[in-house]
Amino acid sequence: MGYISDLRKYVGHMPLIHAAASVIVERADGRILMQKRTDNGYWGYAGGAVELFEDTCDTAKRELFEETGLTAVSLELFGVFSGEALHYIYPNGDEVSTIDILYICREWTGEPVCQPEEVSELEWFDIDDLPPLSPPIRLPMEKYIKYRKGE
């Protein structure tokens, strides 16, 4: 079990500050890899909770591999996102205030493969034609799209 899962045994569904590290995988043609989540049916990028004493870059690489089968060769820090826009209540009732450390990965090895416990589909999307996004990633994706468009 992970750190957050262990905490949940004591605090139940009450709000927790949730440190996360995430990755937007970007191909040379500009398309990005998105994954359809099994818990809420929305799309997002790879990412998850930072474990106790874990470096966020290591978290991002671990989550990318676990959820997509890809191994990051290099990561570029894109931004740190927090606040009301990243407040979320999971379908199981767990409530979080997420601090998301978001990286961009343009160099990786492997082929995309779904982790069936968390991911039902993996697909490459153009940033102008994204599927319905999971609520806590909407603000970071807005910022990413503006960045990509030079705004």
Q: Rounded to an integer, what distance in angstroms lies between the CA atom of residue 115 and that of residue 64?
A: 10
Does 21 map to a domain?
A: yes
Residues 6+ apart with CB under 8 A from 116: 38
Q: Is the dihedral of CA 4, 64, 29, 106 positive or negative?
A: positive
Structure token pair of residue 51: 């474990």
* pLDDT given at position 128: 97
Model pLDDT for residues 56-106, shown as the tens digit of each residue? 999 999 999 999 999 999 999 999 999 999 999 999 999 999 999 999 999
* pLDDT given at position 2: 87
Domains held by the chain: number: 1
* pLDDT given at position 1: 63
What is the residue whose two structure tokens read 């979320």?
88
Nearest to 108 by CA among 133, 143, 73: 73
Q: Residue 146 — very low, low, confident or very high, per pLDDT cuts 50/70/90?
A: very high
Query: Which CATH number goes with the domain that contains 10?
Result: 3.90.79.10
Average pLDDT, the chain: 96
